[in-house]
């Protein structure tokens, strides 16, 4: 997804904007650029990394400007398609995150009126509309422009004639305002400006903001002024630094004992948090994307076993196009960022259908927290690596806590049993630490399979979605083709692909599926596959069936996904590292944590 930063104040803008863009690198991008006004509008942009931009660009003086990192959708990664976009007179500069769905219609109309386009992007129509609407008032021109746009946008605009002013607008794609002393900021994500201020205002859909060095003004699409106080963001820059680890992903894997504990405390059955929730649903439907979908799939088993509530799981991108039914399940949307477009759209669809909605989210103040009827927060903190690790683990903890609360609320779970489950959850940080202490052994195994082209991940029951997540991690950061399957399904076709060159990762912890999994392992071993088994400490039987074993501490089967997932995260990380992959910024991907929205 794209990154946006804007600055106005007394300092030179170039250094601040470049530093902010670097802090947005984890979002993924293929080009970057900045525009700054002094006497004239000066702009520099190019494809490639910010480091390349920084090395090649001249010094640009000026106290206000905007910057952008682009992830291509409309038009290839090239200089002409990079942002900022400018008007024909080179007086207006605009950056954009989102997708303008009606851009082709607008472009054809503008071309008929004599406008000449220099890029293949959807964004350029916005700057040409600004050029038409501008009559000396940039705010008015932005307001008129965004009313013509359909789709998603976060835009930031400067004009050479309006010194010290930056105007921005939001619809679906995120923007946050940073409030400083004698300076103010605009950014896609908090980390871009956290070095300068911790006072933030989150812009909402359909709002336009104007910042000068001493003032912030927000208005809606009707031109009515909106009053909103800033809030302190409880996030440190330390969370955005590697802290001695080779990659952010590895650092974040090793942070998991702490964030598990934080999430347990934040969602526990205490007198402060309450013993119940506001819903007593007969059924549940979980909607999510990617890693969050896998967390929801684990959650299905938790809700059905703990709260005795039938649960289905559906991809958010598919739910929007499904047919409405007469049933009224509680819709639970899971999104790390609270800004995942498909999940937001699905929640909006659910509300239109009259469903109660609940969200599980990591970012306070995000769009999902305002749109769902109730919110359950994870406590993962900032996650920089594109591949979700600690945010996924905290989703599992939050879902388990929610299932316990729901079970108590519905009278399906006694308080004593609920407290026992919570006490068992509290042991998880200790058990995860023991797995992390065994990272060297996991690294050795990962390196031994890092040169293969394909592999399978097997699991059953609650560990089947863990196999899906393990395969996803391996694919997205090591670029090894990997598939997750239920243990009993390989014989229905995919077994034909298993050879001595196809490693199989089998989750075979001691639960109700254990004996069946041993049989499934036998099926792939008979095809000469190298099998790595993930089992329960003390299990000597598993070693007879597999080539290598990784053991996890014994916990109730509902909580084994927390431990087995950590093992698979480490396997994927070390395999990718052995292959020399860009682990924190996989190709073609953008961060799902902060705001996985429509991208430009």
What's the pLDDT tens digit per position in 158-175?
A: 999 999 999 999 998 889
Q: Where are the domains of the chain?
A: 3-235, 241-426, 436-587
DSSP assignment letter at 111 = H
- DSSP code of 497? G
Question: Does 3.50.40.10 match the CATH number of domain 3-235?
Answer: no
- Helix/strand/coil (H, E, C) string of 430-451? HHHHHHHCCHHHHHHHHHHCCC
Question: At 208, is the pLDDT very low, low, confident or very high (cuts 50, 70, 90)?
Answer: very high
Q: What kind of architecture, by CATH, is found in domain 436-587?
A: 3-Layer(aba) Sandwich (3.40)
User: Is pLDDT of 14 > 70?
Assistant: yes
When the pLDDT of each residue in the chain is averaged and rounded to a whole number, the result is 90
In the CATH hierarchy, which top-level class contains the domain 241-426? alpha beta
- Residues 34 and 61: their CA atoms lie apart, in Å, by 12
Burial code of 22-61, b = ≥16 C-beta within 10 A, e = fewer? Answer: bbbbbbbbbbbbbbbbbeebbbbbbbebbeebbeebeebe
pLDDT digits over 47-56, tens only? 888 888 888 8
Tell me: pLDDT of 236 over 70.
Answer: no
Query: Quick check: 361 pLDDT over 80?
Result: yes
Contacts of 454 (CB under 8 A, 6+ apart): 480, 481, 482, 483, 497, 501, 502
Residue that is written with structure tokens 């911790």 in the block: 198
**pLDDT tens string 444-481:** 999 999 999 999 999 999 999 999 999 999 999 999 99
Whether the per-residue pLDDT at 599 is higher than 80: the answer is no
Render the burial of 206-215: b for 16+ CB within 10 Å, e for the rest.
Answer: bbbbbbbbee
Q: Taking residues 23-31, what's their average pLDDT?
A: 74
Fold equal for 3-235 and 241-426: no
């Amino acid at each position: 997804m794209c990154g946006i930063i804007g600055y106005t104040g007394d300092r030179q803008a170039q250094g601040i904007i470049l530093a902010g863009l670097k802090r947005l690198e984890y979002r993924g991008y293929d080009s970057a650029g900045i525009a700054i006004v002094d006497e004239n509008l000066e702009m520099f942009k190019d494809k490639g990394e910010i480091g390349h931009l920084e090395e090649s660009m001249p010094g640009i003086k000026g106290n206000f400007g905007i910057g952008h990192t682009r992830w291509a959708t409309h038009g290839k990664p090239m200089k002409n398609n990079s942002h900022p976009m400018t008007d024909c007179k080179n007086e207006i500069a605009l950056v954009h995150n989102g997708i303008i769905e009606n851009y082709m219609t607008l472009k054809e109309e503008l071309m008929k009126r004599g406008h000449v386009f220099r890029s293949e992007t959807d964004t350029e129509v916005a700057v040409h509309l600004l050029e038409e609407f501008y009559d000396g008032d940039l705010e008015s021109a932005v307001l008129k422009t965004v009313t013509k746009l359909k789709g998603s946008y976060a835009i930031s605009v400067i004009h050479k004639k309006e010194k010290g002013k930056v105007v921005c607008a939001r619809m679906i794609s995120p923007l946050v305002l940073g409030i400083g002393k004698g300076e103010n900021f605009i950014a896609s994500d908090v980390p871009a400006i956290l070095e300068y201020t911790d006072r933030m205002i989150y812009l909402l859909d359909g709002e336009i903001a104007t910042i000068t060095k001493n003032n912030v003004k927000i208005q809606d699409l009707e031109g009515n002024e909106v009053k909103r106080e800033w809030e302190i963001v409880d996030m440190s820059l330390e969370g955005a630094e590697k802290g001695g680890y080779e990659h952010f992903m590895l650092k974040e894997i090793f942070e998991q004992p702490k964030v598990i504990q934080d999430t347990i405390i934040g969602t526990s059955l205490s007198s402060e948090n309450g013993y119940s929730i506001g819903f007593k649903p007969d059924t549940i439907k979980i909607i999510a994307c990617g890693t969050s979908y896998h967390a929801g799939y684990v959650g299905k088993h938790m809700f059905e076993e703990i709260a005795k509530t039938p649960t289905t799981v559906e991809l958010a991108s598919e739910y929007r196009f499904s047919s409405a039914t007469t049933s009224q399940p509680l819709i639970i949307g899971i999104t790390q960022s609270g800004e995942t477009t498909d999940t937001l759209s699905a929640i909006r669809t659910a509300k239109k259908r009259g469903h109660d909605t609940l969200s599980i989210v990591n970012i306070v103040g995000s769009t999902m927290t305002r749109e769902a009827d109730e919110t359950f927060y994870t406590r993962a903190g900032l996650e920089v690596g594109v591949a979700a690790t600690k945010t996924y683990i905290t989703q599992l903890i939050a879902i388990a806590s929610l299932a316990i609360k729901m079970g108590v609320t519905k009278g399906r779970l006694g308080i004593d049993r609920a407290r026992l489950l919570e006490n068992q959850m509290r042991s998880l940080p200790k058990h995860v630490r023991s797995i992390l202490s065994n990272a060297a052994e996991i690294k050795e195994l990962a390196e031994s399979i890092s040169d293969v082209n394909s592999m399978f991940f097997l699991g059953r029951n609650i560990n089947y979605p863990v196999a899906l997540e393990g395969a996803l991690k391996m694919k997205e950061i090591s670029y090894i083709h990997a598939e997750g399957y239920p243990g009993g399904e390989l014989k229905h076709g995919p077994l034909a692909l298993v050879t001595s060159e196809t490693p199989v990762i089998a989750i075979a912890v001691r639960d109700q599926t254990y004996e069946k999994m041993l049989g499934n392992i036998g099926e792939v071993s008979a095809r000469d596959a190298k099998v790595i088994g993930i089992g329960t400490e003390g299990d000597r039987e598993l070693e007879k069936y597999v080539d290598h074993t990784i053991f996890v501490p014994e916990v109730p089967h509902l909580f084994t996904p927390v431990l087995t997932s950590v093992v698979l995260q480490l396997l994927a990380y070390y395999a990718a590292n052995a292959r020399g992959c860009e682990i924190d910024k996989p190709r073609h991907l953008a961060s799902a944590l902060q705001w996985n929205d429509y991208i430009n």
